[in-house]
A and B are shown apart, each in its own frame.
Chain A
Amino acid sequence: MKGPDPWEGVVRGHLLPLFRLCTVILGDPQEAEDAVQEVFLKAFRAQRWFRRRSTTSTWLTRIAINICRDRLRGRRRRREVMVESLPPLVDPNPGPAESLASRQLVLRAMEGLSAREEMVVRLRFGGGLTARDMAGILGCSVSSVKTHLRRALRKMAERLEKEP
């Protein structure tokens, strides 16, 4: 008799938290779906090399963070290459006009951030995570997270000062 598939258990147990995390970091549920699928495909291919030095959850989160970072970088590269032909920023959560304007203002301010800085800002304001939680997810120290956040906010403020 065939027992329960362990891989299915892994997917069932970790999909929703990873989906939430990717959605917060990428700010777009559609892209987050693709990212999560990529996470599980990578994990599936690499599972025989997984040495269980960390928990499955930590391992999957690391993969998700790397994939999200690559996607943010790709997004930034595309924006740099086709800056002229780009349509105005697409807000995945459209709302009232004022709210939309505010969101677009913040998104424009975030354009100058590095992928890591953007992740930290999104996790802090979009996910409401503390510096300690972010350090755990990103696999770095709390002070490093705080430094990234401070630098990101300074860059955003510089951009906002130039706004009319």
Chain B
Amino acid sequence: MTRGHLRWSEILEALEKGQRPPHIESCSPCRRRWEKAAEGLKGLAPETPEMDVRADLLMQRILLTTERRRPRRLPRVQVRWAAVIALGTLCVVGPLALWHALESNKERLYESLMTESWSPSMAGLGGLIPVGPVDPLEETMDSLDAILPWSSEALLEPLSLPSHEGEEMINGRKYHERRRNRA
């Protein structure tokens, strides 16, 4: 580009601002460039005379496509009734089934409660409740033996105090006796 002519950047900038540089009136190469650029940029605006018709057809297409993809829904009233019926059925049938189960197994249940001992699995306490008949005292002693460091038999023996403690007690008793006698 020779000096003095407009550069493409100047032409585009002027077109963007909507200006018409005075130079193009006197310079034919620059005017040709200017007209070319203006024509080309104007061509970016799409010519769609039938846009409304196209839009109508497009709308039908879109509505049809979305209608096919729309999830089929039950009317709200039906959904409500279905919920009421399901809940009602659950409330009536549940207790009835429980009552029926208890009623049919009544004998067995009673028998097991009254005659058989509770097993850990029945109690659900994992061994805290003993199985079978046991002597409560024996069981307590066994438990203590397991826990305490000394024998449980020692607990049952009469208390024997160390000798100096016994002397103190005896001396104390004697002192009190002497005081009482003096008084």
Contacts and interface: CB of A to CB of B under 8 A. Distances in A.
Interface in B1-60: 1, 7-9, 11-13, 15-16, 35-37, 39-48, 51-52, 54-55, 58-59
How many residues of B sit at the interface, in one of the four size bands? 20 to 34
A45 B15 CA distance: 42
Contact of A15 (B8, B15, B48, B55): B55
Interface residues of A, number: 49
B163 interface: no
Interface string A35-70: 011001100110000000000000000000000000
B78 interface: no
Contacts of B8: 156-157, 160-161
B43 A91 contact: yes
User: From DSSP, what is the main secondary structure of chain A's interface residues?
Assistant: helix
In terms of DSSP, what is the predominant structure of the interface of chain B?
helix
A154 to B, nearest CB: 6
Contact of A93 (B12, B15, B47, B66): B47
A37 B62 contact: yes
Given A41-B66, A44-B69, A153-B13, A161 B7 contact: yes
A95 B59 CA distance: 29
